[in-house]
Amino acid sequence: MKKRILITGKVHDVGYRPFLLGLAESLEIERFFADNVFVDGKQAVEILVDGEEDKVNAFIEALKRKKPENAEIEKIEVEDYDREVMKTESYYRYLTAMQLSKIATYGGRMLEKQDTMLEKQDETIKVIKEESKKTREEIGGKIDLLRSDLKEYIESNLKSIRQEISEIKQVLRKAGIM
């Protein structure tokens, strides 16, 4: 018995094809194929199955009850199919190759993003260093001003204290105390 099944909804990049392969394997379906497609601009998974009638029917019933965790199903359509369907073992190899290709593509994108992030990180570190240098210079300048102001204040007060001591000594001398 051959069937074509079309599942529409959020069905791409959620692990639907490996899920379907596992289901087909568990039911010992001899021939199986699944591919991500778009139908009227919507995500879909097209499934072709060929096997004993009871196994194919069990597969279709399982599709109605089970789905990958992050999948969202809008509709499941089932129709007869009359062309050849690849062997399940061949599909396993095909899917493995497709998944490896996907991993390589995503890995390349991740490396590009990592390079971009490293460049941004280098820019950020450079800005932080520049700002730190400016801040140190600013604080250093303010400390120098503070030291200068403090020195002037201390010298002025010290001069005033010396003058007062001198005046006190003169008064004490006139009074004969000193």
Which domains are present in the chain? 2-86 (3.30.70.100)
Helix, strand or coil for residue 156? helix
Res 44: pLDDT: 98
More confident residue, 168 or 107: 168
Question: For the segment 99-144, what is each residue's pLDDT rounded down to a tens digit?
Answer: 888 887 777 788 888 888 989 999 999 999 999 999 988 888 888 8
Res 102: pLDDT: 81
Q: How far is CA 3 from CA 59, 67, 89, 173, in A?
A: 10, 19, 18, 126
pLDDT > 70 in the chain, percent: 99
Lowest mean pLDDT, pick from 9-23, 86-100, 126-140, 145-159: 145-159
- Which tokens go with 160? 């005033």
- Which tokens go with 122? 């280098």
d(C-alpha 25, C-alpha 95), whole Å: 14
* pTM, 2 dp: 0.61
More confident residue, 146 or 161: 161
Helix, strand, coil shares, percent, the chain, to 5:
60, 20, 15
User: Residue 2, Cβ neighbours under 10 Å: how many?
Assistant: 16
93 and 20 Cβ atoms separated by less than 8 Å = no
Question: For the segment 65-91, what is each residue's pLDDT rounded down to a tens digit?
Answer: 999 999 999 999 999 999 999 999 999
Mean pLDDT, all residues of the chain: 92
Q: Which residues pair with 6 in a beta bridge?
A: 46, 77
Res 80: pLDDT: 97
Helix axes 53-65, 16-26, angle to 10 degrees: 140
Res 50: pLDDT: 98
Query: DSSP state, 69?
Result: T
d(C-alpha 85, C-alpha 35), whole Å: 12
In the block, tokens 């196994």 appear at: 55
